[in-house]
Structure 1
Amino acid sequence: MKLIKRFIPYYKPYIGVFILDLICATVLSIIDLTFPQFLRILRATLFLEAPEVILSRLGIIAALLLAMYIVRSACRYYVSYQGHMMGAKMESGMRRELFERYEAFSFSYYDNHNTGEMMSKLVSDLFDISELAHHGPENIFISVIKIIGSLILLMRINVPMTSCLMVVVFFMAIFAVKQNKKMRATFADNRKKIAGINSSLQDTLGGIRVVKSFAGEDIEREKFDKSNISFLSSKKQNYILMGTFNAGNSLFEGLMFITVLVAGGYFIAKGQLTGEDLAIYALYINIFINPVNVLVEFTEQLQKGLAGFERFIQVMDTMPEIVDSKDAKELKDVTGVIDFKNVSFSYEEEETVLENIDLHVDAGKSVAIVGPSGGGKTTLCALIPRFYDVTGGQVCIDGVDVKTVTQKSLRSYIGIVQQDVYLFNGTIKENIAYGKPDATMEEIIEAAKNADLLNFIESLPNGFDTEVGERGTRLSGGQKQRISISRVFLKNPPILILDEATSALDNESERYIQESLDKLAVGRTTITIAHRLSTILGADEIIVLDGDGIKERGTHKELIKEGGIYEKYYRMQLGAI
């Protein structure tokens, strides 16, 4: 009931369509109930008249019935079309709501959740919810009206026989409730297992080049088979319960007909029922059983929909870790001064990554951060745009705590070039303009030119309209990196973060990319994370960072003169060249 209460408010935007849908459903039910009663009235009145009277009124009766069934057809059309559209619109709205919630989550959520599982909730779960949204109220409403209406009419024909029928229905209801509880658990398990398949599939296809390069098809096939067989096992248990449920209801349905036949024969023998009334009674039995069957079939849909909705609200009830404060202001006119004031940070249930970090960066200056892997370099930079929140201390831009401003305004002043470049499936133009969708073609061309990319683009048959493929698979690493640099040139932020932007490139590509990065860094506050120390020799300050904090700081010449950790790193790389 808690789930249903949470579900009801989603009907609010479509209340007019919903009410009219139920009105049409009511008309459908009344017309279906009317025909047997109409036949019973005619048998007791008109059909007892002379033949010429019957013939003279058949046209009127046919016209009346035709009008009824035209109305019935119109109602059926509305229920089928508008009812389904209502469900589809609810599904669309909920999918948007879920997508926006996913977007609101910080990096920590994605660190702990699989993309395939999230996609399963976004697609398959919401489809089942949509079907429930439309068919649920409609099926229940129609079925209840038909069951109550036919029950009243059955009572009017013969109360004792209907009472016998209700005994069978009572035991049928008890059976249905018990089976329902069992089926709900299996449907919830089905959802988890299909999410596992999606997760396995996404993982394999996303890394298909690695799979093929290591001839790992058999390994991936085994992993997929494991999740696939697990889902099959879950479905098997589900179908066992469904089979039991349907078989049991079929048996009770047969018991209803047996009850009517035996009780009807008994009451006819006692003179309490006529053969004609038993025939009409049998028509109403069919009307009575049909909605019962609809409710039985609806049980499966109900359990699927509720299982999907339960997973939906689990996500919606998860609050993003990083949110704008109620009094958050827009960050404006940033010059680029960055301060880390006694900053500490740790991931969930992990040791402290950063502790008591104090660092000041003047506007327009370049700072390079070096140190061992896992020393907190990338984490430190991720605190500036609030991809993660500090667990202690403050990160400030131009003296303003980043927690006191809106995330959107904060990130609009920060440009990031990463080692792992992500390009969206689309054209080169669309990828360059990603950070500024309203950019003019002249601005896009200028950004490409600044990243030393223009000659390459113009050499392509489709130029800026060339498709890059999924994740940019049709381009080389250097070309993808230049597109990411073009994005930042177009965005033109005062703060620039370079996260090992050239470490995955060959020496020649690195040289050209480094020239573009040097051009990009002019006039901006630049923080560079680098393993290749040759790329940061001209930095205004170099910070040596490890798990225990800042170990050394100074210019390249100063640190070499100190003969400490940095000098050791530099000599190691110099010897490797």
Structure 2
Amino acid sequence: MSNQKASLGHVFKTIVLPRKNLLLLGLVLIIISRVAGLVLPGASQYLIDNVISNKDYDMLKTLLVIVVGAIVVQSATSFALTRLLSVEAQHLIAQLRVKVQKQIVQLPINFFDENKSGALVSRIMSDVEGVRNLVGTGLVQLFGGSLAAILSLILLIRISPMMTVYVLVPVVIFGVISLKAFSYIRPIFRNRGKINAEVTGRLTETLNGIRVIKGFNAEEQEIKTFETGALRLYENVKKSLTSTALVTSSATFLLGLATAGIMGIGGYMIINDDLTYGEFISFTLYLGFMIAPIVQMSNIGSQITEAFAGLDRTEEIMSMATEDENPARTVDLGRVNGEVRFEDVSFAYEEEKHVINKVSFCAKPGSVTALVGTSGSGKSTIAGLVASFISPQEGQIFLDGTDLSTVTLNSYRKQLGVVLQDDFLFEGTIRENILFPRPDATEEQLLEAVKAAHVQEFTDRFEDGLDTVIGERGVKLSGGQRQRIAIARAVLADPRILILDEATSNLDTESESFIQESLKTLMQGRTTFVIAHRLSTIKQADQILVIEQGKVAESGTHDELIAKEGRYYDLYTYQARI
């Protein structure tokens, strides 16, 4: 309960209060609208009891002008209300989506390892939509409806206190049922957002991996998986609909009883001349004006409950610490020389299960350090530590003598270039993908990067050249072509520190020869870390670190390690025989 109160307070502080002037204007408009709406019941009583009975044609004209004027005012205020608040609500939704996306992309890498991309898309796009019921017409209508109900209640009491008391009993019972229902519904809405994110996440994975699915004839399997998720979502919706239906049917039953009672009591009082026909018609109309907002409030209450559930989930994301929210990271780097030194560095993804353990080495500025070893030995983890995607749990990493854990990530990553195993390309043209790290690069700089990675060897064969659209994740290109674009992108970034994680793994013999030819130029003056299964690609490295079970088993140049006839020698000669 205390968490809900805190959440409610936070929502009002961050969303409602900054827009208090707009909401107050909306409240004024809805008060005018509701008061104008009350003119009709009063005019009906006057029409029956005074105008018709006295055959007063002049008063009839005046009454019609007043009623039409009230209708015009009601319509105008309703339009202004929707125009002001609904538009602002959509503006706020757009702002919140941008804010949540900004927060998410600044979270640590391990957050993305633990959450599906599709689920995160759902949290960015769907969870914030509920604010339209807070800043839009929903919240104002809630207050306006309450006001209309109170005013109608006062007028009902003036006409007939006895009939009003009879009406209030079922209304109070309805209010209690509604409050109980909404407290039950909120966790359901909250869980719906979670289920929806999971289903969306799996669906996104399915569509991205459609070639694998078809390749293994696994369509039926994926259809069943999605069906299971869709049914879970259905069960959740069914629960909330059941609760909402209970509220609606309660309103219909209880208010129907009230109406039947009014007919009986009103008829009795008219027969006994205790109530005029006009008063009875007026009472009935005012009763509608009191009941309609209460029923409407039950629907708005459901919407606001859903809004809070979505905003609860949004707040979870916004309260997470981003990569830069580390008080220890205060050092802004200038241009670095590029000396990287590991001192007794250890890291574990799971507690007590070290992926690397007490690793120490030094990479001199402008040198090439190759990391070799079997799969799972810790090579990519070392590369991730150099890139600061993860931080050591023990030991220190120094960059030009400065502890990397004290450096602001923005100032460091400006000088970092990365080509990963997953050569991720964005949908668009080849040109846009190469320009990704430096959108303001000149045409000359772009062409230099293209030449360095031998991209022109295949773009020259395309009708649109560098402006060829490559499809989602570069699906229209071969693995070697995608890899060369990724390398050209790293070249254009002009980093001081370069990480090539299996950068030549997807290249055919011809492509690899092109890349090997340009690697010497690419690595000149840059501290480079190379991970390669094909040991023939790293013969020229300044130092080779053989990683085994998270430790440096051997280090040295290619010739030195071959002469030792140790682990590197075994790996190299084994590959040479294949």
Q: TM-score, normalised by structure 1?
A: 0.95
Residue-pair matches, total: 573
- In 1, Cα distance between equivalents of 2:59 and 2:297: 39
Residue type at the aligned position of 1:3? S
Q: Which one is further off, 326-335 or 18-27?
A: 326-335
Match of 1:435, SS? coil
Alignment partner of 1:29 is 2:34: yes
How far does residue 556 in structure 1 lie from its aligned partner after superposition? Answer: 0.8
How far does residue 183 in structure 1 lie from its aligned partner after superposition? Answer: 2.2
Deviation per CA, 1:59-98: give whole Å up to 9, x if none: 4444444433333222111111221111111111111111
Which ranges in structure 2 are unaligned for 5 or more consecutive residues? none
Match of 1:461, SS? coil
Aligned partner of 1:198 among 195, 200, 224: 200
Aligned partner of 2:8 among 4, 7, 17: 4
Matched residue, 1:137: 139
Matched residue, 2:86: 84
Matched residue, 1:496: 498
- In 1, Cα distance between equivalents of 2:448 and 2:323: 38
Which ranges in structure 1 are unaligned for 5 or more consecutive residues? none
- In 2, Cα distance between equivalents of 1:3 and 1:20: 25
Structural mapping, 1:57-206, within 5 Å? 57-206=59-208
Residue type at the aligned position of 2:298? V
- In 1, Cα distance between equivalents of 2:265 and 2:58: 39
Residue type at the aligned position of 2:79? Y
Structural mapping, 1:279-358, within 5 Å? 279-320=281-322, 323-325=325-327, 328-349=330-351, 351-358=353-360
Deviation per CA, 1:216-245: give whole Å up to 9, x if none: 111111111111122222222332222222
- In 2, Cα distance between equivalents of 1:543 and 1:169: 78
Matched residue, 2:368: 366
Residue type at the aligned position of 1:199? G
The 8 Å contact of residues 44 and 281 in structure 2, kept in 1 or not, is answered as no
Matched residue, 1:482: 484
Matched residue, 2:445: 443
Deviation per CA, 1:124-180: give whole Å up to 9, x if none: 222233344313312211210110010011011111221121111111111112222
The 8 Å contact of residues 385 and 407 in structure 1, kept in 2 or not, is answered as no
- In 2, Cα distance between equivalents of 1:350 and 1:166: 66
- In 1, Cα distance between equivalents of 2:526 and 2:209: 36
How far does residue 307 in structure 1 lie from its aligned partner after superposition? Answer: 1.8
- In 1, Cα distance between equivalents of 2:289 and 2:274: 23
Distance change (3 Å), C-alpha of 1:348 and 1:548:
closer
Deviation per CA, 1:329-358: give whole Å up to 9, x if none: 321121111111221211243511222221
The 8 Å contact of residues 478 and 513 in structure 1, kept in 2 or not, is answered as no
The 8 Å contact of residues 353 and 376 in structure 1, kept in 2 or not, is answered as yes
Q: Which one is further off, 317-326 or 141-150?
A: 317-326
Structural mapping, 1:201-240, within 5 Å? 201-240=203-242
Distance change (3 Å), C-alpha of 1:465 and 1:235:
same
The 8 Å contact of residues 485 and 517 in structure 1, kept in 2 or not, is answered as no
- In 2, Cα distance between equivalents of 1:14 and 1:565: 68
Matched residue, 2:535: 533
The 8 Å contact of residues 44 and 278 in structure 2, kept in 1 or not, is answered as no
- In 1, Cα distance between equivalents of 2:567 and 2:457: 42
The 8 Å contact of residues 371 and 530 in structure 2, kept in 1 or not, is answered as yes
The 8 Å contact of residues 347 and 393 in structure 2, kept in 1 or not, is answered as yes
How far does residue 103 in structure 1 lie from its aligned partner after superposition? Answer: 0.8
- In 1, Cα distance between equivalents of 2:58 and 2:243: 56
How far does residue 303 in structure 1 lie from its aligned partner after superposition? Answer: 2.6
The 8 Å contact of residues 419 and 503 in structure 1, kept in 2 or not, is answered as yes
The 8 Å contact of residues 477 and 505 in structure 1, kept in 2 or not, is answered as yes
- In 2, Cα distance between equivalents of 1:367 and 1:207: 34
Residue type at the aligned position of 1:34? V
Deviation per CA, 1:419-460: give whole Å up to 9, x if none: 211111111111111000111222212211221112432432
Match of 1:434, SS? coil
The 8 Å contact of residues 107 and 323 in structure 2, kept in 1 or not, is answered as yes
Match of 2:498, SS? strand
Matched residue, 2:389: 387
Match of 2:136, SS? helix
The 8 Å contact of residues 382 and 388 in structure 1, kept in 2 or not, is answered as yes
Q: TM-score, normalised by structure 2?
A: 0.94
The 8 Å contact of residues 14 and 86 in structure 1, kept in 2 or not, is answered as no
- In 1, Cα distance between equivalents of 2:107 and 2:167: 56
Matched residue, 2:547: 545
- In 1, Cα distance between equivalents of 2:18 and 2:443: 41
Residue type at the aligned position of 1:124? S
Residue type at the aligned position of 2:468? T
- In 2, Cα distance between equivalents of 1:73 and 1:215: 59
- In 1, Cα distance between equivalents of 2:387 and 2:272: 88
Q: CA RMSD in A?
A: 2.0
Distance change (3 Å), C-alpha of 1:63 and 1:270:
closer
The 8 Å contact of residues 43 and 63 in structure 2, kept in 1 or not, is answered as no
Residue type at the aligned position of 2:386? I
Residue type at the aligned position of 2:572? Y
How far does residue 58 in structure 1 lie from its aligned partner after superposition? Answer: 4.5
Aligned partner of 1:262 among 248, 264, 270: 264
- In 1, Cα distance between equivalents of 2:512 and 2:135: 56
- In 1, Cα distance between equivalents of 2:326 and 2:460: 43
The 8 Å contact of residues 415 and 495 in structure 2, kept in 1 or not, is answered as yes
How far does residue 416 in structure 1 lie from its aligned partner after superposition? Answer: 0.8
Deviation per CA, 1:242-284: give whole Å up to 9, x if none: 2222212211120220221233234445543233211110010
Residue type at the aligned position of 2:27? L
